[in-house]
Structure 1
Amino acid sequence: MHNYTTADPTTAYAGADALVHPVEQVLNLQAGMFRRRQNYFFACWNVRTLRSEAAQALTVRSQHQYKADVADYRTVVTNPSRIRLKGVIHNVSVIAVYALTLDSADAIKDTFYNELQAVVNGTPAGDMLVIAGDWNGRTGKADAQTRSKLGPFGVGNRCANGERIINFEMNNHLIVSNTKFQLPNHNLVTWYSNDGVTANQIDYILIRKRWVSNMRDCRAYRGAETGNTHGSDHVLVRAKLTMRLKANKHVSRQKRLDITKLKVDDTATQFRLDLRNRFNGLQPEESVDDIWKALKKDVTEVAANTVGFTKRRQKDWISSRTVKLGEEAKRARLNGDANYRRLRRETTHSARYDRTVYWHNIATDMEHAASVGDFRKLYQLLKSSTQTRSSVSESIHNSGGEIITELNARLARWHEHFRELLNHQIPPTIPGKNTPTAADLYDCSSDTPSHEEIRAVIAKLKNNKAPGEDGIPAEVYKTGIDELAPRLHQLISEIWNRKRTDGVLKKFTTTNVNKNHMISPEFST
């Protein structure tokens, strides 16, 4: 094990939650959600490999740093893949590709372009089509025959694979966006050979010709780091497009009270004192709606001021030392320093050590939770660490106990099951046995629930449960039971006497109230 000093996690970049796999996430909760804005950034990058967690984390960090909304990280996968984004007026289809190298057989290249053509043919004609990836070919600058497909700022001389790219463009009315913008040479070159001399432009972002005016910029960025041990000979290529995607419906997250602080005696005492003082200064309300609104407002405000709300904790498993080494490796690569590969190796080793420390801490927390009997926390750690969702088995048995695998046979078996379950015969009515007698009738009380009954119900509430429509957890009711029981008794008494609910209380689920284990015949829900 490397002798690295453990540093405090940094939150200067997107990081992973402490209870998930050590793969980097974006801190912003809206990341990956398209909003109604004009400019979006599409990127492609041949990163060589994403096998290690360090490569994944540092690559996503580069994506976050260069503000890429849609990114394709290709290794060596020749099958094209497509995603479709919903827009306000027109949708956007993005296809990611990895073309065959120049020395590959022509038959294999033909197969690749036939598969890519099939994917393009399956894209709606009205979509904004973007095709990005490593094409392994040089298109060069535009000439008299290709000026409608290429720009005047290509790099290198055209090769056989470049001819294939141009033919594919002409058949599908596409344009290579990399060659349309006059930029410095380091923003045009996308691939650097290991000899340190050879450099070419072989990664392209193609766009359908009718949408070329939406392409505002397309350039290569040498500063992006992948985090691999040996790095990547390709650089990040990012295009800036102007469009209007359909906005997501904003769903506000309900704030949760930090009820764990109520376990402290001083905090619980202060909560009860503040709640009592708030109730003493209240004016009596007349309607049921006003009584509930005042009660909910007071309880929520006092609890928020006393215990506050829980915060979404984001802990990065990569230490600040690893981030610093990554920055040093990037600067060394850009400056051509001889210690570039040494810094890259140290970055990878440091990231591996951080990952080991992360899982060691998770295992320690699990052991501690099991030793003290905190099975709730133990279950949360196990669930978040595995990241596997329980799936329902689709295999069922027929009436003879044999397994059914075919879809039509399973549907027929379900039809048979529910037909037998729901269409049973009604038992015959026997005079004198099915007729209720006076002894079978219950003499139940329909009086208003007492104060003691309200306290008993509050005391039986279960902890660690999600709150209802009011947003007030059960722990708050149980902590302030002496102050809340009279108020709730007043509210329930008003509802009981009026035999109906009004206003906001209609959102609540009302159940029959049992009196001495009997159901009141006068109160209806």
Structure 2
Amino acid sequence: MLDDASRPHRRTALVAHELGKYNIDIAALSETRFSGEDSLTEVGKGYTFFWKGLPEDTRRLHRVGFAVRTKLLRNIPESPQGISERLMTWRIPLAKGRFATLISAYAPTLVADDGLKDAFYEVLDSILSKTPSSDKIILMGDFNARVGTDNLLWQGIIGKHGIGNSNSNGLRLLSLCAEHQLIITNTIFQLKNKHKTSWMHPRSKHWHLLDYIITRQQDQHDVSKTQAMRGAECWTDHRLIRSKFQLKIRLQSPDALASYRWKLYEGLSTPQASNPCSNTLNIERAWANLSSAIHTAASESLGLAKKHHQDWFDSNSAEIQHLLEAKHKAYTSHISNPQSSSLLSRWKAIRAETQRQLRTMENEWWLKKAHEIQAFADSNNTHAFYQAVKSLYGPQRHAISPNQNAHSREKHNDSAGITMRNNP
């Protein structure tokens, strides 16, 4: 875990950049350090963040949340439900009338008080027990637990490809999974250890698996792969864990879907699109026709997103992209040769310089906008003044007003919680 001083000011945009790079649709987050229960949208990066934390005047150490592609929210009617600063749930509709309950969790550490651990697992057990049996469950989080490799003792819960030894926190997690017939997907795929482990002990320098993505045993066929993404770098000491699920979110607008299908059919029924491909040139022409038909059908039936706001992060997108690429290249060199002190120093220096330049860009952008707005005010150009003020937004924040349903009316005990570190 890194202290606040080493974290960039606008880390939501940087995290969104990494999530987009790894094609993540929904990510569970931990230790967000945000206060209260709220959300914000990184318009330029295309992600919306939801979180649950403690009040503003309270020391905030944990906090859980979700990050989701903003375009998916139109098909998800319910907002995430904050249970505590360690637990957040989200019920999303799937195709064919099914639902999936997502749980973002951050468990107490190994040295935490047993009472805190008991309270956390009691709340998590209550959430799992109240989840409809027809729902798919995707439990994601930093569990601060090692589950080991004993797949014979924990058959159906641990696969044949676990890693390391178990500890007391791991036994708590395994017992919970056994009670609710869950399987730890990190252990069912044959991968090199460097693609399994998620956290390095600061003193021993040994890598361990502490972050898990867990689902029902009966639904493990939905998972095509779960692995640690070594190249992701989001100012955290844990690696991003990515899992690929074969799930489809239900579209909420049948009319728009029908319109899209019809317009796509019309686009593909043209002579240019229906001609057979007999050579490479025709294949390229057919692909151009297909992509054009899809884009036209989608824009006509679903519409295009309109963006009228301004943000310093988006205005400096090209330069920021260059900085992040340099940082990523230095990080990749470091992890390819972790014993090299020069590569480690170089990566830290570039990361610090990236943060410094980001702050400089932000200050210069706001200073320029301030002069621009002041000029409108001095010239009594009221319309331009208010338009300029309204266009400045940064990440858009919205208060969460969760919809109540039959499964969320009962109050949950807020004495414990759990979350996931930037994990999809």
**TM-score, normalising length from structure 1?**
0.50
- What are the residue-to-residue correspondences of 1:236-275 with 2, within 5 Å? 236-249=240-253, 250=256
1:454 is aligned to none
Structure 1 residue 325 displacement after superposition:
3.6
**Residues 225-268 of structure 1: CA distance to partner in whole angstroms, max 9, x if unpaired?**
11xxxx3220000110112221243499xxxxxxxxxxxxxxxx
Match in the other structure for 2:27: 71
Q: Which amino acid aligns with 1:240?
A: K
| Secondary structure, aligned partner of 2:166 | coil
Counterpart selection for 2:164 from 147, 156, 161: 156
Deviant stretches of 4+, over 6 Å: 46-51, 387-391
8 Å CA contact 2:8–2:355 kept in 1: the answer is: no
Deviation at 1:144, TM superposition (A): 1.7
Shift of residue 122, structure 1, vs aligned partner: 2.9
Q: CA deviation at 1:360?
A: 1.7
Provide the rounded CA distance (Å) in 1 between the counterparts of 2:105 and 2:397: 31
Q: Which runs of 5+ in 1 are unaligned?
A: 1-45, 253-308, 392-525
Identity across matched positions, percent: 25
Alignment partner, residue 371 of structure 2: 364
2:190 is the counterpart of 1:190: no
1:338 aligns with 2:368: no
Deviations 1:264-305 (A, max 9, x none): xxxxxxxxxxxxxxxxxxxxxxxxxxxxxxxxxxxxxxxxxx
The 5 Å alignment of 1:103-182 reads 103-182=111-190
Letter in 2 for 1:367: Q
Residues 61 and 386 of structure 1: CA distance in aligned 2, closer, same or farther (over 3 Å) = closer
1:351 positional shift: 1.4
Contact 2:199 2:239 in 1 (8 A): yes
State the structure with more CA Rg. 1
Of 230, 233, 237, the match for 1:225: 233
Q: 1:377 aligns with which of 384, 387, 394?
A: 384
What residue in structure 1 maps to residue 327 of structure 2? Answer: 326
C-alpha displacement of 1:84: 1.2
Equivalence for 2:94: 87
CA contact (8 A) 2:231 2:328 kept: no
Shift of 1:210: 1.7
Q: Distance in 2 between matches of 1:330 and 1:242?
A: 31
Say if 1:133 and 1:205, in contact at 8 Å, map to a contact too: yes
Deviations 1:25-48 (A, max 9, x none): xxxxxxxxxxxxxxxxxxxxx887
* SS class of match (1:157): strand
Residues 1:233 and 1:311: Cα distance change in structure 2 (over 3 Å): closer
- Measure how far apart 1:64 and its partner are: 0.4
Q: CA deviation at 1:184?
A: 1.5
Q: Is the 8 A contact 2:195 2:228 kept in 1?
A: yes
Does the C-alpha gap of structure 1 residues 112 and 353 become closer, same or farther in structure 2, counting only changes over 3 Å?
Answer: same
Q: How does 1:324-473 map to 2 (within 5 A)?
A: 324-335=325-336, 336=338, 337-339=343-345, 340-385=347-392
Give the CA RMSD over aligned residues.
2.9
Alpha carbons 2:151, 2:157 under 8 Å: kept: no
2:16 counterpart residue number: 60
Aligned partners of 1:60, 1:47: CA distance in 2, in Å?
19
| Amino acid corresponding to residue 358 of structure 2 in structure 1 | A
How far apart are residue 379 of structure 1 and its match?
1.4
Do the aligned residues in 2 keep the contact of 1:48 with 1:232 (CA within 8 Å)? no
Report the TM-score when normalising by structure 2. Answer: 0.62
**Are 2:52 and 1:96 equivalent residues in the alignment?**
no
Q: How far apart in 1 are the matches of 2:155 and 2:143? A: 20
The CA distance in 2 between the partners of 1:389 and 1:219, in whole Å, is 32
* More strand by percentage: 2
Structure 1 SS opposite 2:163: coil
